[in-house]
């Protein structure tokens, strides 16, 4: 789906502990911005010299606020360049192309209880969720896990939020605060919903714990902001049915890149199978899913593929493109 690109102004930057920049974006003319729901993110174009990337950042501001969007950006020296560049060019007054907001991590607002787990920068969507749940008068807890108190961001925001009593901090260097996942999870029969965002290992642990406690998949909500993905494998053919073109995807290639060389554009943003931008319909063939975006049910249907990283199990895939 094509989205409108907005040009927004960086109105305020606050450098938080832990190499996190809190960035506030608004319209240049002060106009109201498109509404968003808790869990939504923005696609931000990061441009500087030879760098031209689209990256996704969760909105942490209050969903009731229409004057600005606020995001948190971790400066990660091991990233693929997006966060380092954004930290460098995020100067108050700078303009950024934005698409969205989009929500692939929606909040079930009618749940009897919501348990939020944020690992490091993964707390950003949880803050927006907590704001919304507080406004609705819902029962929730936010477990905020970081390496230490000295690198824990958003302290002032949480302190002024009105839901401080519902936030439980866990720091790796303070064993007495260690997250007891079994104690943090209400019984599955309670109807509670679980939300998790953070580093992949942390997320996998929380998800596996919730599954072991009997939580069904539709009450375990997750959003990966990055993932280790191996997009390599045996060569295979891709038939672009509507375009009438067949390409070969080599061992080190991806479907999106092979199609692009043949003149067929598949929009790719994250390149790690986490954002869903490149999802393409599959008409025939068995899929080797490598992404972290599609649900288990969607994978079982076998009719969608993340073209940035997933591959074919056999010799051929037919795409509706």
Domain ranges of the chain: 5-102, 114-223, 236-319
Average per-residue pLDDT for the chain:
93
187 Cβ contact list (under 8 Å, min separation 6): 213, 214
pLDDT digits (tens, 9 = 90+) for 12-28: 999 999 999 999 999 99
The arrangement of strands across the sheet holding 41-48 comes to 51-58, 41-48, 95-102, 5-16, 20-27, 69-74
Say what percent of the chain tops pLDDT 90. 83
Residue 223: helix, strand or coil by DSSP?
strand
Closest by Cα among 43, 23, 44, 35 to 62: 35
Q: What's the topology of domain 5-102?
A: Elongation Factor Tu (Ef-tu); domain 3 (2.40.30)
* Strand extents, DSSP E, 183-312: 193-197, 220-223, 236-240, 245-249, 279-284, 287-288, 304-306, 311-312
272 Cβ contact list (under 8 Å, min separation 6): 224, 226, 227, 229, 292, 308, 309
Instruction: State the pLDDT at residue 82.
Output: 84
> 227 pLDDT exceeds 60?
yes
Same fold, 5-102 and 114-223: no
Residue 146, judged by CB atoms within 10 A of its CB (0-12, 13-18, 19+), counts as buried
pLDDT digits (tens, 9 = 90+) for 65-105: 999 999 999 998 776 668 899 999 999 999 999 999 999 89
The arrangement of strands across the sheet holding 304-306 comes to 245-249, 236-240, 316-319, 279-284, 304-306
Query: 121 or 267: which carries more pLDDT confidence?
Result: 121
Task: Please compute the mean of the pLDDT values over residues 207-228 and round it to a whole number.
Answer: 91
> 1 pLDDT exceeds 50?
no
Alpha-carbon distance 192 to 15, whole Å?
35
Alpha-carbon distance 248 to 316, whole Å?
9
Confidence of residue 296 (pLDDT cuts 50, 70, 90): confident
Closest by Cα among 40, 34, 316 to 197: 40
Q: How far is CA 187 from CA 181, 208, 211, 212, 221, in A?
A: 12, 15, 11, 11, 16
**Given this structure, which CATH class describes domain 114-223?**
alpha beta
Closest by Cα among 179, 173, 108, 112 to 142: 179
Q: Where are the alpha helices (DSSP H) in the chain?
A: 82-89, 124-136, 155-159, 181-184, 200-212, 255-261, 296-301
> What's the token pair of residue 215?
């939580």
> What's the token pair of residue 71?
């995001």
Instruction: State the pLDDT at residue 202.
Output: 95
> 268 pLDDT exceeds 90?
no
| The architecture CATH gives domain 236-319 | Roll (3.10)
Confidence of residue 38 (pLDDT cuts 50, 70, 90): very high
Asked if residue 304 lies in contact with residue 277, where contact means CB atoms within 8 angstroms, the answer is no
Task: Please compute the mean of the pLDDT values over residues 128-150 and round it to a whole number.
Answer: 97
């Amino acid at each position: 789906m094509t989205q409108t690109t907005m040009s927004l102004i960086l109105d305020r930057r606050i450098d938080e502990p832990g190499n996190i920049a809190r960035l506030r974006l608004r319209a240049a003319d002060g106009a109201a911005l498109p509404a968003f729901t808790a869990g939504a993110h923005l696609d931000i174009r990061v441009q500087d010299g030879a760098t031209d990337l689209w990256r996704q950042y969760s909105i942490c501001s209050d969903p009731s606020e229409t004057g600005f969007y606020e995001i948190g950006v971790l400066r990660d020296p091991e990233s693929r360049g997006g966060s380092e560049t954004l930290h460098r060019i995020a100067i108050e007054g700078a303009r950024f192309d934005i698409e969205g907001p989009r929500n692939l991590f929606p909040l079930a607002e009618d749940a009897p209880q919501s348990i939020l787990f944020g690992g490091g920068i993964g707390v950003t969507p949880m803050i927006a969720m907590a704001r919304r749940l507080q406004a609705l008068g819902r029962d929730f807890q936010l477990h905020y896990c970081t390496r230490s108190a000295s690198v824990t961001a958003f302290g002032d925001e949480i302190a002024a939020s009105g839901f401080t009593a519902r936030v439980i901090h866990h720091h790796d260097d303070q064993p007495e605060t260690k997250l007891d996942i079994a104690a943090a999870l209400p019984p599955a029969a309670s109807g509670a919903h679980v939300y998790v965002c953070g580093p992949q290992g942390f997320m996998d642990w929380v998800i596996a714990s919730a599954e072991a406690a009997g939580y069904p998949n539709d009450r375990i909500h997750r959003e990966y902001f990055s993932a280790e993905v191996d997009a390599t494998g045996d060569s295979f053919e891709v038939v672009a049915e509507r375009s009438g073109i067949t390409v070969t995807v080599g061992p080190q290639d991806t479907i999106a890149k092979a199609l692009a060389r043949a003149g067929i554009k598949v929009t790719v943003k994250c390149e790690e199978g986490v954002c869903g931008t490149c999802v393409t319909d599959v008409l025939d063939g068995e899929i080797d899913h490598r992404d972290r975006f599609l649900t288990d049910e969607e994978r079982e249907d076998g009719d969608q593929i993340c073209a940035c990283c997933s591959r074919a199990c056999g010799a051929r895939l037919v795409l509706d493109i």
